[in-house]
Structure 1
Amino acid sequence: MSTALPDQLKWEYSAFPVQISQKQRLSPGFMRITVTGDKLRFFGQWGLDQRIKLIIPSPAGNIPDFGILDEPTPPPTTWLPRAKSFPADQRPILRTYTPSAVRPELCEVDIDIYLHNPSGPVSRWAKNCSVDDELIITGPDVRAGETCYGITYHPTSAIDRLCLIGDCASAPAIANIVNQSKVPTTVFLHVDSLEDDVLIADSSTKLTFEDIDAYKAKVFQWASANAADPSVHFWIAGETSMVRFIRKELINSYRVDSSRITFLGYWKYGRRTVD
């Protein structure tokens, strides 16, 4: 892990100007957006639940200059207040996602976007955008070293088993963690439709549910049988109130120490959670 940034960088992440090279409808609920740009040769392939930022056009249809493409990329304390200072109809739209695939040798990144209903700004954009449309993404820059910036789940030798709990919004991160996991991993996934269970490889330890009550019941049934094992780690991500509820139950009802739980609120009914 890098302890200091190289002189040519001011932030662990860089801004990457990109354009859409491909759109693919993976399922009724998932759209894969593949972006390309010369600078993506420096995009880090750290995987796991790596967070990146999508910066898409404002309601007016453009991305105004707010300093994020300055070289080297300035830290968010510099560009984020400028981005928020624009009138609502001219303000760039910023949202957080996890890349599904990174191919620096081809200067490509795949972003799998779940199309919420009702649609939010990114869902609407994903449905309507076209090949060659331009946007900006921020993400890890290999020139900074593997800083772990933007990653929440950090595998350690103390973890012998892993339980991943989430929904469609967190499915790209779950898929990455499953693919990189070196320990037995159990997945509980809640979907609006089984047709949208397309990102995570099928296995005997992946359980997918449309019914939210059945989903919660199976999660807590598994916790009842396994939570006493201190080598089990829980990762929970998705709709914020559900994440909080499951985490609280694991701590209060199943005596799971909070240090054994990684959690992220990705979205909330009725409004966004992350700018």
Structure 2
Amino acid sequence: MSLTPRMRRITLHAPQLTDYELLRPDDFFALLIPGPAGLDLPADGLVGSSPRGVADLIGDRCRPELRWYTVRAHRPDVGEVDVDIVLHGDHGDHGDHSDHDHAASGPGGRWAATVTPGDVAGFVEGNGLYSPTDPSGRQVFFADVTALPALSSILTSPEPAPGVAALGSQATAHIEVDHDSDIHPIATGATVHWHVRDGGPPGLSIPRVLDGVAPEEISYAWICAEASLVQEARRFLIAQGGVAKELITFSGYWRQGEART
């Protein structure tokens, strides 16, 4: 199912997913992506020391690529997980093919653009990053399109942290995207600001992450995007907002000009 021209939702099904347990709203997993020879997985799955270790247990001919994605929804009663994957490069609907498109285009996007019902892929559970020290306090989020599924999961979760109700107006999210068509609704009580580059430079929204927020009120910040944007946004919150480093969760989902390994 296409959520936007560049975001596709795919449902994974396996009997083992009935026992899978989400620990955090932005829990991620390793997707084992089949190559030209397919992916030969035993019915009972594989057990390794890490997702990379699991992939290494598969023979050379069928060894998969590995990429990380957020669990967008989990239906244990039917053994299903939804994952939202950004399509890039030739699979997008834009002719300009920005640096973001070119850099992030890879096996995940190519697989998502061509996968059909019944195709085989692998799922290796991971963990989440979202861990506010004071879940009832003022929270600030920053994401680009690659972190949009994770941020959407946090903002729409009925229980974003143990014992805490859904995020409301005390949370503010800033999402920077390349095009208007990358925007899709997020059903949340949090305040969401969309920043469209439309040919502008990456990071143009970072000076606005403190708009309407008194820095001393911030109890937690979550920053996930392209690595240089994460670094810039984190520095801004520390230098301009006085936010303590230990209150900031951050991750560079990809690095411009480099293939993710």
TM-score by length of 2: 0.78
Where does 1:80-119 land on structure 2 (aligned, <5 Å)? 82=56, 86=60, 91-117=63-89, 118=102, 119=105
Question: How far 1:262 sits from its partner (Å)?
Answer: 0.7
2:183/2:194 contact within 8 Å kept: yes
> In structure 1, what is the equivalent of residue 160 of structure 2?
none
Where does 1:123-272 land on structure 2 (aligned, <5 Å)? 123-139=109-125, 150-157=127-134, 159-180=136-157, 181-183=166-168, 184-198=170-184, 200-201=186-187, 205-211=191-197, 216=203, 218-223=205-210, 226=213, 228-272=215-259
| Partners of 1:191 and 1:79 in 2: CA distance | 34
| Partners of 2:41 and 2:14 in 1: CA distance | 19
Question: How far 1:222 sits from its partner (Å)?
Answer: 4.2
| Partners of 1:150 and 1:102 in 2: CA distance | 14
Superposed CA RMSD: 3.0
| Partners of 1:126 and 1:77 in 2: CA distance | 20
Question: How far 1:44 sits from its partner (Å)?
Answer: 1.3
Q: Say if 1:29 and 1:203 are closer, same or farther in 2 by CA, change over 3 A.
A: farther
Q: How many residues align?
A: 237
1:43/1:104 contact within 8 Å kept: yes
| Partners of 1:94 and 1:234 in 2: CA distance | 28
My pick for the range that moved more, 27-36 or 252-261, is 252-261
SS of equivalent to 2:151: helix
Question: How far 1:101 sits from its partner (Å)?
Answer: 0.5
Q: Say if 1:269 and 1:90 are closer, same or farther in 2 by CA, change over 3 A.
A: farther
| Partners of 2:214 and 2:201 in 1: CA distance | 19
1:51/1:150 contact within 8 Å kept: yes
| Partners of 1:215 and 1:272 in 2: CA distance | 18
| Partners of 1:161 and 1:103 in 2: CA distance | 31
Gaps of 5+ in 2: 90-101, 158-165
Gaps of 5+ in 1: 1-23, 140-148
Question: How far 1:157 sits from its partner (Å)?
Answer: 3.0
SS of equivalent to 1:195: helix
Question: How far 1:45 sits from its partner (Å)?
Answer: 3.0
2:230 counterpart letter in structure 1: V
| Partners of 2:37 and 2:51 in 1: CA distance | 25
User: Which of the numbers 62, 85, 91 marks the counterpart of 2:38?
Assistant: 62
Question: How far 1:271 sits from its partner (Å)?
Answer: 2.4
Matched, 1:30 2:7: yes
